[in-house]
Amino acid sequence: MTMRTRALVNVVRMAALAVGLGFATFAAAQEGEEGGGAGGGKTEYVLAISWQPGFCETRPTRRECVDQTAERFDATHFSLHGLWPLRKSYCGVEAELKARDRKGDWLDLPKAAMADDTAAGLLVAMPGVKSGLDRHQWLRSGTCQASNADDYFTLQLRLLDELNRSAVRALFADQIGKEIDEKQIKQAFDHSFGAGAGDRVRMRCQSVNGRSIITGLTIGLSGDLSGKSGLSDLIQAAGPTEFKCGKGIADAAGQG
């Protein structure tokens, strides 16, 4: 391996770690604040959603970002980052495999076993599959939530589909390239998922060349995920949280 190749591998590895740690830290902070209170229960899970054009603006060299186009699904729809049970991780995962996952070389991890149609849907809904994100999420969080990877990701695909058919996605798609604020996003959540739903949402932004770019949302959930509960019921059962990023740009696909 040449020095240049080794350096590139290290950059990709550190980027993977930054992605995982960034969202994990975001969720940990959300966990610390969500827990009962007026108008809600206690948050048990966090659904992490990416606005991929914004995410790729901050990490343009990642495998899932180098070939993003305005025509690709994730250029105008939300995409999956993960679904995490709070206060649990790596359930039943052996120490050696856990250590490999934490190194950030996710494509070196075992493939998550799932049906062909689930895998095909996930490749569209979770662009990070190209970097092994599905393998990482299954080991870290899925093992604490479902008996198999197919059930774990099928649930996420169903929840994402609900979100992408909502007023929230319509707002982002209509405002691509423009700034969206907390009030607009909370109103869209309330419209689609019931009064107060927006209070269970947190927005993640990152500064790029002086612009505040929206990279994703985390949504608090509670309830029986093994059943057929809709996104509205799961959100309403969760506790409120702080929105954090008050406004940001719903970036278009492509840099700049």
Instruction: Put residue 172 in one of left, alpha, beta given phi > 0 → left and psi -120 to 50 → alpha.
Output: alpha
| pLDDT above 70 (res 37) | no
d(Cα 132, Cα 140) in Å, to the nearest integer?
Answer: 13
Mean pLDDT confidence for 122-133? 97
What confidence score (pLDDT) does residue 173 get?
A: 98
d(Cα 86, Cα 44) in Å, to the nearest integer?
Answer: 6
CA 170, 47, 52: angle at the middle one, nearest 5?
A: 50
What confidence score (pLDDT) does residue 15 get?
A: 47
What confidence score (pLDDT) does residue 21 get?
A: 47
Mean pLDDT confidence for 211-217? 97
Mean pLDDT confidence for 180-200? 98
What confidence score (pLDDT) does residue 255 get?
A: 67
DSSP state of 49: E
Q: Where are the domains of the chain?
A: 3-249
What confidence score (pLDDT) does residue 12 get?
A: 43
Averaged confidence pLDDT in the chain = 89
d(Cα 48, Cα 59) in Å, to the nearest integer?
Answer: 17
CA 83, 77, 89: angle at the middle one, nearest 5?
A: 10
What confidence score (pLDDT) does residue 39 get?
A: 53
Residues paired with 205 in a beta bridge: 214
Mean pLDDT confidence for 164-179? 98
Mean pLDDT confidence for 126-136? 97
Give 133-138 contacts, CB < 8 A, sequence gap 24+: 133/19, 133/81, 133/82, 133/106, 135/101, 135/106, 135/107, 135/109, 135/110, 135/111, 136/16, 136/20, 136/101, 136/106, 136/109, 137/81, 137/82, 137/83, 138/112
What confidence score (pLDDT) does residue 85 get?
A: 96
d(Cα 208, Cα 206) in Å, to the nearest integer?
Answer: 6
129 pLDDT tier (thresholds 50, 70, 90): very high
Query: Comparing 53 with 14, which gets the higher pLDDT?
Result: 53
Structure tokens at 66: 């180098």
Q: pTM for the whole thing?
A: 0.86
**Which CATH superfamily includes the segment(s) 3-249?**
Ribonuclease T2-like (3.90.730.10)
